[in-house]
Amino acid sequence: MAVVDQAPVPDVMHKPRSHSEFEIIRRFFATPNLSFPREGIELGIGDDAALLQVPPNKNLAMSMDVLISGIHFPLDADPSLIANRALAVNLSDLAAMGAEPYCFTLGLVLPHSDEKWLAGFSGGLEHLARQYNCPLVGGDTSRGPLSISIQVQGLVDNNRATRRSGANVGDKIYVSGTLGDGAIALLALGLDSHLGSEFSLAVSEPSAACRQYFEDAYFKPQPQIGLASAAGKLFSSAIDISDGLQGDLQHILDASEVAGNIRLGAIPYSKSAMCCVSPENRLRAALFGGDDYELCFTVAEKDCVEAESIAKALGVSITCIGDINAGEGIDYLGTDDSPVEATEQAFQHFSATT
């Protein structure tokens, strides 16, 4: 984790909201395009709390992600892209539970009031909020170092949420989309990665198309809401890949008290990842990079054909990359299913000896 210095202490301590804060809320957030009516929302922005009427046959799913400037997004990025990323990574958590987006709240900390920035940010939120019928219903604003706290609420049929703990021996392990793009995007966008100096582009300059691809991968991750909604009933467990496949799959294995193997050759990569980084760094990005916001999920063998068929009909790529076994931990398999060491330690060892 990067170290960030403490924020400087301002001149005065106080809480009262200023006129300009209410103006900001009115002009940029409590708008018909962002805080729009939706069934089940009794009261949105403008009182001490929002009020929801959750349908009796539904569980309410709630997930909060905090994004800090300079860690989770570049400070100088387009505010509409920052907004898109902030809401999308939260929606991805709902997808992992098989929940339909319902509404969200926003805690926005801004160093100063900047109308152009706020208009861009608000517009970026609107786009996704409308796409997923997920209006803003409340939150808070404050002065301070730029950060964004979003809590999303979702709805899922009672007792039908996809938990991490449901994987069974014999299930197949799948991932949606392609992996590693989130980490490779940092390189393509000229940002530093935590994966070390060995983690670099194999090309001196990505093509304009690749650069655009990675910018979209980083700022506009596509939460797999549609896939989870259509096929989630067939998933025995699921998680969204925010911290890298290795760590996130391990959470499923731990919660389900099982082991898993990954066929390294089966991990899906984008054309741009194939074009811009070495095979070793693609693997490193997929396993340890994070920020992919794809789903890793397990499916009972009998349901695999149906799950693949649903995904195909949706135009969403899903790939079987391994199996759930008895035991604990992850085994990595190379060509001919021979065991391979693909741990962080192995990469570090490799780096140290080359």
Q: Are 4 and 66 in contact (CB under 8 A)?
A: no
60 binds its own copies (CB under 8 A): yes
Residue nearer to its own copies on the CB measure, 120 or 333 = 120
What would the two tokens of residue 328 be? 């604990």
Region 143-202 residues binding its own copies, contact defined as CB under 8 A: 143-147, 149, 151-154, 156, 158-159, 161, 163-165, 182-183, 186, 191-194
The pairing of strands 136-143 and 58-68 is unpaired
Region 238-267 residues binding its own copies, contact defined as CB under 8 A: 238-240, 242-244, 247, 255
- Concatenate the DSSP letters of all residues of 18-43 into one string: PHHHHHHIIIIISSTTTS---TTEEE
Shortest reach from residue 320's CB to its own copies, in Å: 21
88 DSSP β-pair partners: none
CA distances to 52, 159, 186 from 224, rounded to whole Å, are 25, 20, 22
Shortest reach from residue 335's CB to its own copies, in Å: 28
Region 325-344 residues binding its own copies, contact defined as CB under 8 A: none
Cα separation of the two ends of the chain: 25
Residue 8 CB neighbour total at 10 angstroms = 6
Residue 309 CB neighbour total at 10 angstroms = 11
78 is in an annotated binding site: no
Provide the edge-to-edge strand list for the sheet that holds 172-176.
235-240, 295-299, 172-176, 318-325, 259-263, 329-333, 339-340
291 is in an annotated binding site: yes
30 binds its own copies (CB under 8 A): no
181 is in an annotated binding site: no
Which of 35, 63, 122, 178 is the binder for its own copies (CB under 8 A)?
63
Q: DSSP class of residue 73?
A: B
Q: DSSP class of residue 346?
A: H
211 binds its own copies (CB under 8 A): no
348 binds its own copies (CB under 8 A): no
Shortest reach from residue 186's CB to its own copies, in Å: 6
Phi, psi of 240 (to 5 degrees): -95, 145
Shortest reach from residue 334's CB to its own copies, in Å: 24
Which of 48, 338, 345, 354 is the binder for its own copies (CB under 8 A)?
48
Region 263-322 residues binding its own copies, contact defined as CB under 8 A: 288-291
- Which residue positions form the known binding site for substrate? 72, 291, 347
Residues marked as binding for Mg(2+)?
48, 63, 65, 93, 140, 240, 243
